[in-house]
Amino acid sequence: MKNKIKASIIGASGYTGSELARILVNHPMVGIDHITSESHQDKKFSDLHPQFLGNLDIQLESASSIDVQDQDLLFLALPHGVSMDFVEKWQHSAVKIIDLSGDFRLSSAEVYEKWYKKAHTFKQGFQKAVYGMPELHAEEIKTANLVANPGCYPTASILSLAPLFHKKVVQEGTVIIDAKSGTTGAGIKVSPVTHFSNVNENFKAYGIGSHRHTIEIEEQLGGLFKKHIEVQFTPHLLPVDRGILATSYAKVSGEMDQEKLENLYASYFEGKPFVRLRKHAPSLKDVRGSNFCDIYPFWDKRTGRAIVLSAIDNLVKGAAGQAVHCMNLMFGLEEKEGLIQLPMQP
């Protein structure tokens, strides 16, 4: 591809829009044509996010002012329940869309309404949306016009268990996922839960038994298993800026040991450039600022369980980096183009 992809970021005020810009500004095959914000029109992007000063001073504008026919790709960095309106508005244009909200991640509008507790106004979008996890759906993503970028918790959780479900060795009803996220996973808007005094020197679980990412995990792992499955998923809030560490537990059928487990994971993730299999448990700082998912599969012979740890940066592999990975596939680029940022240590 000789010409640069003409891309726009719809929604610039949050962490996801900022992280998209951080990755795209150095992507050799992308030009950022527009960045929108309905509440900060006419400000510079660097006024909102000072880290971009001198490197991305583009003026913020309303989404309604963009001629989408002149764009190749739109990244929708918008809240749940808002993206669907823009997807419907631009459904007849030729522009490709990567939606980073949860509006089209699930199997139907009915499932969405049950778990998100809000009406879905563009049900037809589910018919063409492709779930944007390259490790599971690369071929579908390549030809997609609408990609539903996965959630951050589901990314860490699904990747931790995908090889076991693909091999169909998981004993049903035995999966437990214990996941912890930094505060940026809740978005940029302040709430009582994410207020500094509640997060600092604290640690808590939330969404117990009812978190909306549960169904996203179940649908994707069930797709690999070729049947409906249930998992026990519990998220926790860490007093850190970014990162997710998920610990997944599953009983497996048939003979298993550490070597067989490692070989099963190595075979499944062969050729997947952003999954790194570890010999020891990963930490948040092992992936911070990168698009890597570090996975450590451990066989507990005492209990007969696979215990799999996975670590991602929730803003990169769990959001913006995964979206750019999908973009590379959609436009026939090399998968790793623009995404080789090494983790930041310390």
At 127-137, the pLDDT tens digits run: 999 999 999 99
pLDDT, position 190: 64
Split at pLDDT 50, 70, 90, the class of 242 is: very high
- Find the DSSP H helices in 96-147: 109-116, 134-142
pLDDT, position 12: 85
Can you read off the two tokens belonging to residue 226? 């070729």
Whether 208 and 235 have beta carbons less than 8 Å apart is answered as no
Split at pLDDT 50, 70, 90, the class of 277 is: very high
- Find the DSSP H helices in 4-93: 15-24, 45-48, 83-89
Residue at token pair 């996965």? 150
pLDDT, position 189: 67
pLDDT tens-digit series, residues 249-259: 999 999 999 99
Whether 62 and 76 have beta carbons less than 8 Å apart is answered as no
Query: CA–CA separation, 125 vs 158, rounded Å?
Result: 23
pLDDT tens-digit series, residues 146-201: 999 999 999 999 999 999 999 999 999 999 999 999 988 766 666 777 778 788 88
pLDDT, position 195: 77
- Model pTM score: 0.96
Phi, psi of 39 (to 5 degrees): -95, -10
pLDDT, position 194: 74
Q: What is the mean pLDDT of residues 244-272?
A: 98
Assess whether pLDDT exceeds 60 at residue 271: yes
The answer, yes or no, to whether the previous bond of 154 is cis (omega within 30 of 0) is no
Cα 199 to the center of its chain, rounded Å:
23
152 is catalytic: yes
Q: Domains along the chain?
A: 5-127 (3.40.50.720), 152-316 (3.30.360.10)
Cβ atoms within 10 Å of 2's Cβ, excluding its own:
4
Secondary structure class of 293 (helix, strand, coil): strand
Query: CA–CA separation, 323 vs 150, rounded Å?
Result: 9
Can you read off the two tokens belonging to residue 118? 């809000």
Pairing of strands 293-300, 305-312: antiparallel
pLDDT, position 88: 97
Assess whether pLDDT exceeds 90 at residue 318: yes
Annotated catalytic residue, options 9, 77, 84, 152: 152
Assess whether pLDDT exceeds 60 at residue 1: no
Pairing of strands 232-237, 129-131: unpaired
